[in-house]
Chain A
Amino acid sequence: MNFVLIAIFAFFVFGVLALFTGNQKSIMADLIRTCGPIGGSILGLIPVIQVLAGKKISAFIMPWELFNGSFYLEIDLLSAFFLLPIFILTILASFYGFSYLKQYANQRNLGSIAFFFNLFIMSMVLVVCAKNIIMFLLAWELMALTSFFLVMFESEKSLTKWTGWLYMSLTHLGTACLFVFFFMAADGALSFDFGDIAISFDKNKTSLCFLLALIGFGTKAGMIPFHIWLPEAHPAAPAHVSAIMSGVMIKTGIYGILRTILLIGVPGLSWGIVLIILGALSGVIGILFALAQHDIKRLLAYSSVENIGIILLGLGLGVVGIKTQSPVMGVLGLAGAFLHILNHAFFKGLLFFGAGSVIYATHTNRIDELGGILKRMPLTGLTFFIGSISICGLPPFNGFISELFIYMGSFKEIVVGDFDNTSILLPIITILALVTIGGLAALCFTKAFSIIFLGEPRYKFNHEIKESPAFIVYPMLVLCAICVMVGVFPSLILPILEEPVSLFFSNEVVRSTFVPMGEMFGIMTYVYLSLIGFITLIAIVRNMLVKRRSYQTTVTWDCGYIRPQATMQYTASSFVETLVDIFSFILRTKKTMDKPSTYFPLKNAGLNTRTADTFAQKLYYPVYYFFKGHMFKLLKIQYGNINLYMFYIILTLVIMLSVNLLTRSEL
């Protein structure tokens, strides 16, 4: 525990110190800005690994009246599991940010960014370690605030400002639900410590409590329909912050849901169904919106919604598994959800890093402006490529493993299930949702990777495009290596999953389910190795042939036309047009163009499409504008007249007094 305390302390101290470095360009200033999160995270990893290895670490408890309980920090299995990606990604993101922020050195106060970054990491650590309601909510709020300031990084852009406020208001909508939830849950408990709440929780309130928690935590996680802040906020932050926000911060929402289940018990079967349906919706709708985007970071942000969907599917299977006494489905679903939490942190971190690297080199985030940069940025390209395959859930990388868990859970249920029972629908929905997500993700990420990195440049930049500096590239290589390792040697990851899953299922059940999975993973490793072997072998044969024969280069087949142009390539928008068209009832993409309609072409016909968030357009904005319209009427009671305000105060006091008196008289 001490290490984590030191880490938290380090985040805080170095954060404050960094504030003083301002915009200084000395090595010392750079060190102060970066070494806090790196050092703290490395320290923090030690107890995390210990806990995951099965060792119990005593909690840090200090009774505190203010908290109506105690200052209570503990790394239990669940916390440790979530701390793992937080620390790993923080280390890499700090290195990355060190290089990445250099481009802003003259325009922004790097010290304050470092300050917020440090506090942001600290708040996330606190959120997953806090075992007291007040502490948790404070940390939660701190996390929201610090990330708000990081989103407002380029606050002079009006869009960013709007984004920041959207983020802020939605986060607080969620937090409001959490407040209600926690205090309802804590009603009748000895203290606000989690342990006490779990003991005295009134089971009758489970459904309502779980609903509130689901909305509150789901908002943070970016669950549909509470996701609308996510595609706005993530792209606005610097790339390494986006990576952390998308990779781990939204997972604190999932942490919250899991913690809720531990706290108030497993909710009813219907909540499992709700989770599966929300997961399927988040997954499919998230990826649909992702593939219609033109901004690479928005695309990745929407894809986070999709991945949260996959995690929710796993969670849903877990809940259903517990409630319907189908432990195999439950264990595998939950294990899939847990593994996907890790995997998504890694490949989404990787992809955001890659996107940042591209933006660093080209200064644009519009996919349609890019093209052909694989030749100029080979490592960014390679890692982005592997990240893309991973996130599509294709073998032999890590995304496949977590989806495989969920598939296996569902299929095994179908094997033993009964088609006369409607609950068989749940694994079927899960499978179909996963397949749909997988297919759409393939479309989304072949688009993202290919249009950015392959083909010919679509736009002539005034500057030379070259590979990003080492500190940007190496973190990507590390994440890439993790994706490959987890993918090819999945048996390595099983022990890490076993313990957290055991929080929800008995040890024997988990072990007996994991043993066949382990065997399967063992075989799969051999299959992958032979796949890689085949690839190497054939590549060697080909290279031998290349050496022996003539080898020429020419232009891409252009039908013999003498002047091929870069516009004769598919664009990102064209690549997805048919699908966007098919799903126009959800996406509602607006296409603006002057069609050539006269016999002879019009001058200046242009075409562009925009896919705004349907939920924002149809659900949130009407409500917002309704209130905005009616709030002005409230101005009437606020005239700036002191006497009037005095009158309000007295009126309020009188009402409170009379209410008090009346209720007392009833007693």
Chain B
Amino acid sequence: MIYKTKISQIPLLPLGALKNELVKKEKRLSALFFHPADRHLYVVCSDDEKGELSLVKTPIETYRYESLTPAYPAAHLFEREILETHQIVPENHPWPKPVRYLKDLIGDTNFYRIEGLESHEVAVGPVHAGVIEPGHFRFQCHGETVYHLEISLGYQHRGIEKKLIGGPSLRTLPYMETLAGDTSIGHAWAFCKNIESLSNVVVGERENLLRAIMLELERLANHTGDMGALAGDVGFLPTLSYCGRLRGDYLNMSAFICGSRFGRGMLKPGGVSFDLSLDQIKELELKLDNVFKDTKGAINVLWHSNMVLNRFEGTGVITQKEARDLGFVGMVARSTGLNLDVRKNFDHGDLYNDLSIAVCDSGDVFARATLRWLEMKNSYTFIKSALNKLKKAPPLNPIKPGPLESDSLAVSLVEGWRGEICHVNITNSVGMFSTYKVIDPSFHNWTALALSLRNQEISDFPLCNKSFNLSYCGHDL
């Protein structure tokens, strides 16, 4: 999905009207950010039913404004981010705390605490016992029960958005591919789309098919790894052992296509770097069939273990209302019954005609696990049909994108394996990035993890955490 407009054509709304619009029309917030060059708040909303994006802006004259969060909770983290990076205070925000803790700018982090001498806190991280990224989790517990979890991230903050200003440059694409290491294709595609729209390039069918295949391979690899890790967290060794290997096999397929297991260097603005010959397509089909057969076996063992199902069911529940209110995206939203998927809901030509979207509605770990498996099956079918189409598709037609349109804004949406990836790009008068805003799905969804832990056993935290498997660096940027 891509949306392009001139900055001057974006409708201007006063803050109060904006709030009403958001609350009344129950819009889903895809991005909310502050553009310092013209001191406006930009609001990107998605309408999933109509497949439309809408954009408004609101002037912020002073360093304070009335917070949107009390009426429209989905804005809470965006407002905290604006507070942190631009020191613009959202008044009456219920929890106005910096998101990433930039030490020089804002004071100490303090955590919500249950008063009294009987409850205790558990502080986990930033250094974790497993090989995972850093983050600090603060649990408010009594006995084994968690009453509140606060997640404090920012340890991976690299200042990427700041570095992107003035781009695009040769460095921009590598930055994009490492925004979140396991979502290289997703972010690279969103970036490419963005550049292509602003330089008025239309990519051909073959390019799009290859990009889509790479994206689904990425999804398969990550979902397989997660299924294994979920099994590992309940101590179910059979699935754990096999999924570890199988994930590698999917990654190797990416490497087969482009030389990088994470698909780096595959996408470039204007096209793709590597093509698949007919023989390669056949070889890939064969590989995929074999690996997927093994995957099926490894994962079906899981569904046949009552003990595993017992651990999954009812653990870490997210309700549909929470998902709607707080704007969760991707798999998390779909696990509560919301039919949210950029691939289907928004216009992609006939690229995704063969794809079906899975939705579960119980919102627990079981739903998220089931959803993963269903999505894997869908991705597998999709890749198979895409590979078929690829056999007949016209050859690659590489185009080198020209300079970007000036004073414009482009929004690109891609359904990465975690969910909606949103890149918003505002160019200045010479067609360079003046704000490049990246919203990784993790940014929306970390709150879901925090909520899912309420009234849960603390020992289920690793399981819940893995069932979301959110990106730390994608959030911290």
A interface residue numbers (CB < 8 A to B) = 294, 366, 368-369, 458-459, 558-561, 564-565, 567-578, 580-581, 591, 593, 595-601, 604-609
Contacts and interface: CB of A to CB of B under 8 A. Distances in A.
Given A574-B142, A577-B142, A596-B148, A608 B120 contact: no
B147 A596 contact: yes
B311 interface: no
B344 interface: no
Given A559-B127, A568-B123, A599 B451 contact: yes
Nearest to A576: B143
Scoring A294, A564, A600 by chain B CB atoms within 10 A of each residue's CB, the highest score goes to A600
Given A369-B117, A564-B123, A600-B76, A574 B128 contact: no
Given A571-B117, A606-B115, A607-B114, A577 B126 contact: no
A571 B141 CA distance: 10
Q: What are the 9 tightest A-B residue pairs by CB atom distance, in nearest-first order?
A: A577-B143, A560-B127, A573-B118, A368-B117, A600-B94, A601-B112, A606-B115, A596-B148, A607-B119
Contacts of A570: 120
Given A595-B455, A599-B326, A600-B95, A567 B141 contact: no
B86 to A, nearest CB: 21
A575 B128 CA distance: 24
A560 to B, nearest CB: 3
Interface string B317-332: 0000010011000000
Scoring B69, B117, B122, B148 by chain A CB atoms within 10 A of each residue's CB, the highest score goes to B117
B157 interface: no
B405 interface: no
6 contacts: A368-B117, A559-B136, A571-B118, A572-B118, A580-B143, A600-B76
Interface in B144-159: 144-145, 147-148, 150
A608 B125 contact: no
B72 to A, nearest CB: 11
A570 B118 CA distance: 9
A601 B121 contact: no
Given A581-B143, A600-B95, A601-B148, A593 B114 contact: yes
Given A369-B117, A577-B142, A591-B142, 10 more contacts: A559-B124, A560-B134, A567-B113, A571-B119, A571-B120, A574-B118, A599-B76, A605-B114, A605-B147, A608-B118
Contacts of B76: 599-600
Contacts of B144: 577-578
A558 B124 CA distance: 7
Contacts of B94: 598, 600-601
Given A595-B455, A599-B325, A599-B451, A559 B117 contact: no
B143 A593 contact: no
Contacts of B140: 596
Nearest to A558: B123
Nearest to B322: A599
A607 B123 CA distance: 19
A605 B136 CA distance: 22
B150 A601 contact: yes
Q: How large is the interface on B (under 10, 10 to 19, 20 to 34, 35 or more residues)?
A: 35 or more
A595 B147 contact: yes
A598 B141 CA distance: 17
Interface string B425-466: 000000000000000000000010001001100000000000
A420 B124 CA distance: 56
Contacts of B128: 559
B139 to A, nearest CB: 10
A576 B143 CA distance: 7
Contact of B121 (A369, A567, A599): A567
B204 interface: no
Contacts of A574: 118-120, 141-143
Contacts of A597: 454
B97 to A, nearest CB: 10
A591 B113 CA distance: 17
Interface in B90-116: 94-95, 112-116
A577 B141 CA distance: 10
Contact of A567 (B120, B136, B326, B451): B120
Interface of B: 69, 73, 76, 94-95, 112-128, 134, 136, 140-145, 147-148, 150, 322, 325-326, 447, 451, 454-455
A654 B76 CA distance: 88
A48 B122 CA distance: 56
B116 A606 contact: yes
B454 to A, nearest CB: 7
Nearest to B94: A600
A608 B325 contact: no
B83 to A, nearest CB: 14
A569 B113 CA distance: 14
A560 B120 CA distance: 19
A368 B115 CA distance: 13
A138 to B, nearest CB: 46
B123 to A, nearest CB: 5
Contacts of A366: 117
Nearest to A597: B454
B455 A559 contact: no
Scoring B73, B76, B119, B126 by chain A CB atoms within 10 A of each residue's CB, the highest score goes to B119
A596 B456 CA distance: 13
Scoring A368, A591, A599 by chain B CB atoms within 10 A of each residue's CB, the highest score goes to A599
Contacts of B134: 560
Given A559-B128, A601-B95, A568 B119 contact: no
A513 B128 CA distance: 59
A607 B118 contact: yes
B125 A560 contact: yes
A286 B123 CA distance: 35
Contacts of A558: 123
Contacts of A369: 117
B292 to A, nearest CB: 38
Contacts of A596: 112, 114, 140, 147-148, 454
A325 to B, nearest CB: 49
A560 B232 CA distance: 25
Nearest to B134: A560
Scoring A369, A561, A569, A608 by chain B CB atoms within 10 A of each residue's CB, the highest score goes to A561
Contact of B125 (A294, A368, A559): A559
B298 to A, nearest CB: 32
Contacts of B117: 366, 368-369, 458-459, 571, 573
Contact of B118 (A564, A569, A609): A609
A452 to B, nearest CB: 13
Contacts of B112: 596, 601
Contacts of B127: 559-560
A379 B455 CA distance: 41
B136 A599 contact: no
Nearest to A607: B119
Scoring A294, A604, A607 by chain B CB atoms within 10 A of each residue's CB, the highest score goes to A607
Contacts of A606: 114-116
Contacts of A571: 117-120
A578 B455 CA distance: 14
A366 B116 CA distance: 12
B474 to A, nearest CB: 21
A590 B109 CA distance: 33
Nearest to B70: A600
B399 to A, nearest CB: 46
A606 B326 CA distance: 26
Nearest to A564: B123
A576 B123 CA distance: 20
A574 B141 CA distance: 8
A599 B121 CA distance: 19
A599 B73 contact: yes
Contacts of B136: 559, 561
A609 B114 CA distance: 13
Nearest to A572: B118
A608 B145 contact: no
B120 A568 contact: yes
Nearest to A369: B117
